[in-house]
């Protein structure tokens, strides 16, 4: 039967990461593809105890909840955000099914077909999927390691009058960059000058490798009118809880709550209550400190493998936090075409192409270092190097 799907579905695209994971999970492949935390570091006992607290509270825990989410958890989140100098209260916070739902709900209430969204290039591919699904036109702003270039950003704001600017300024996905404080301030000043909203996505900010360093959220410098901030517990507790949150201007959060009512009434209240008890009773900050140490060590193992290579055109930035290396190869290497050879050799990565809005650089790839053990990282990188060296040998005549 031929189904009459809406025209909007023509803009839907499958996730490159999810498609790769379907393949690699079927065989004995070391995967650097998914942006996943390490299973053995999950606080299993603390999560179990938190759920016990939920069910000990009585049958009321099984009832419908508020669309905005479990109030005591929102209060705890407000306390944690205050430590980042983001001044919000529980009325300006809504709990969601992961921070991915924030991107979707925000786009739903703001975007009309043809509206402009400004982003970095490359940027988080699942955000691009959402913007495309709402028929937005996505325009890339020229960037470097410190963030969006000020002149190009202002030119594109004036030229395109975007509905919003989407940024991941701290340990970005996929590039792993950290915006300078100057660039963060400049984006905010332009948003205030031209009345543009910033969607600040911060899923990785807690996973910083220098614990004495401060990465100032753009939302912490705002007047409460121009920045919508979102984060998640997926990277610091467990992904399966699917609990994220959004904080920002009350009018926007209230409108997103109405959109959420139409979508799912509310996210899982049991999971939200469990998270509340976990934050109340468990040393979450101590756990995050362990994650930082473990992931830094794994990053260094991968860095050492990369630094041992002598391949023309190879470049990367050593991450200061987060979960990814972003690697560039010789301009004639196509990592999309090379992926099947890598999988055949027992290792997987994500080609860079799906992360681009325009001016695609096919010689890029993303490597995750948080999900594999140090031993697997060493083994997988050796297998990846074999594939890369073979690809480079085929290019020798042009050097």
pLDDT tens per residue across span 254-289:
999 999 999 999 999 999 999 999 999 999 999 999
Beta partners for residue 239, in sequence order? none
Contact 244, 234 (CB under 8 A): yes
**Contacts of residue 50, Cβ cutoff 8 Å, sequence gap at least 6:** 274, 275, 276, 277, 278, 281, 282
Contact 134, 169 (CB under 8 A): no
Residue written as token pair 């739903």 = 108
Whether a cis peptide bond, with omega within 30° of 0, leads into 174 is yes
**Contacts of residue 343, Cβ cutoff 8 Å, sequence gap at least 6:** 23, 24, 27, 29
Q: Enumerate domains of the chain plus CATH numbers.
A: 7-42+286-393 (3.90.1150.10), 44-281 (3.40.640.10)
DSSP 92: G
pLDDT of residue 218: 98
Contact 267, 66 (CB under 8 A): no
Share of the chain above pLDDT 90, in %: 87
pLDDT of residue 19: 62
pLDDT of residue 356: 96
Alpha helices in the chain (DSSP H): 16-24, 44-56, 71-82, 98-110, 125-133, 150-160, 181-194, 250-264, 269-281, 284-307, 335-344, 374-393
Minimal CA–CA distance to 232: which of 214, 250, 245? Answer: 245
How far from the centroid of its chain's Cα atoms is residue 269's Cα? Answer: 24
pLDDT of residue 399: 44
pLDDT of residue 297: 98
pLDDT of residue 51: 97
How far from the centroid of its chain's Cα atoms is residue 320's Cα? Answer: 15
Residue 242's region, left for phi above 0, alpha for psi from -120 to 50, else beta, is left
**Contacts of residue 7, Cβ cutoff 8 Å, sequence gap at least 6:** none
Q: What pTM was estimated for this model as a whole?
A: 0.94
pLDDT of residue 396: 58
Digits of tens for pLDDT over the chain (399 positions)? 887 777 777 776 665 665 666 665 666 899 999 889 999 999 999 999 999 999 999 899 999 999 999 999 999 999 999 999 999 998 899 999 999 999 999 999 999 999 999 999 999 999 999 999 999 999 999 999 999 999 999 999 999 999 999 999 999 999 999 999 999 999 999 999 999 999 999 999 999 999 889 999 999 999 989 999 999 999 999 999 999 999 999 999 999 999 999 999 999 999 999 999 999 999 999 999 999 999 999 999 999 999 998 899 999 999 999 999 999 999 999 999 999 999 999 999 999 999 999 999 999 999 999 999 999 999 999 999 999 999 998 885 644
Helix then strand then coil, % of the chain, to nearest 5: 50, 15, 35
pLDDT of residue 252: 97
Average pLDDT, the chain: 93
Contact 321, 209 (CB under 8 A): yes
Per the structure block, which two tokens stand in for 248?
């920002």
CA angle 327, 331, 334 (to 5 degrees): 75
Q: CA-CA distance, 175 to 222, in Å (whole number)?
A: 25
């Amino acid at each position: 039967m031929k189904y009459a799907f809406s025209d909007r579905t023509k803009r839907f695209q499958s996730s490159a990461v999810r498609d790769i994971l379907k393949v690699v999970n079927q065989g004995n492949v070391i995967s650097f593809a998914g942006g996943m935390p390490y299973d053995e570091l999950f606080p299993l006992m603390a999560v179990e105890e938190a759920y016990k607290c939920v069910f000990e509270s009585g049958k009321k825990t099984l009832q419908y909840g508020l669309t905005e989410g479990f109030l005591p958890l929102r209060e705890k989140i407000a306390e944690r955000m205050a430590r980042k100098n983001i001044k919000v209260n529980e009325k300006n916070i809504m709990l969601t099914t992961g921070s991915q739902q924030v991107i979707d709900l925000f786009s739903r209430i703001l975007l009309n077909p043809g509206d402009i969204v400004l982003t970095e290039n490359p940027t988080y591919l699942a955000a691009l999927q959402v913007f495309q699904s709402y028929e937005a036109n996505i325009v890339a702003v020229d960037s470097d390691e410190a963030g969006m270039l000020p002149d190009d950003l202002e030119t594109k704001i004036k030229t395109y009058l975007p509905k919003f600017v989407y940024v991941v300024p701290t340990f970005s996905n996929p590039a792993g960059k950290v915006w300078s404080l100057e660039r963060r301030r400049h984006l905010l000043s332009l948003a205030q000058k031209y009345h543009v909203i910033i969607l600040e996505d911060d899923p990785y900010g807690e996973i910083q490798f220098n614990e004495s360093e401060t990465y100032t959220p753009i939302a912490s410098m705002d007047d409460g009118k121009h920045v919508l901030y979102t984060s998640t517990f997926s990277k610091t507790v467990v992904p399966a809880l699917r609990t994220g949150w959004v904080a920002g201007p009350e009018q926007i959060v209230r409108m997103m709550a109405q959109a959420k009512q139409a979508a799912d009434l509310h996210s899982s209240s049991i999971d939200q209550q469990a998270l509340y008890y976990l934050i109340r009773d468990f040393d979450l900050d101590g756990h995050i400190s362990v994650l930082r140490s473990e992931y830094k060590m794994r990053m260094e193992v991968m860095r050492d493998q990369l630094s041992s290579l002598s391949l023309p055109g190879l470049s990367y930035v050593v991450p200061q936090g987060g979960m990814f290396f972003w690697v560039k190869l010789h301009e004639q290497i196509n990592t999309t075409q090379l992926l099947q050879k890598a999988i055949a050799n027992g290792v997987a990565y994500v080609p860079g192409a799906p992360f681009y809005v325009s001016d695609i650089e096919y010689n890029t790839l993303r490597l995750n270092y948080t999900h594999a053990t140090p031993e697997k990282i060493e083994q997988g990188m050796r297998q990846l190097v074999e594939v890369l060296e073979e690809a480079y040998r085929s290019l020798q005549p042009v050097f």
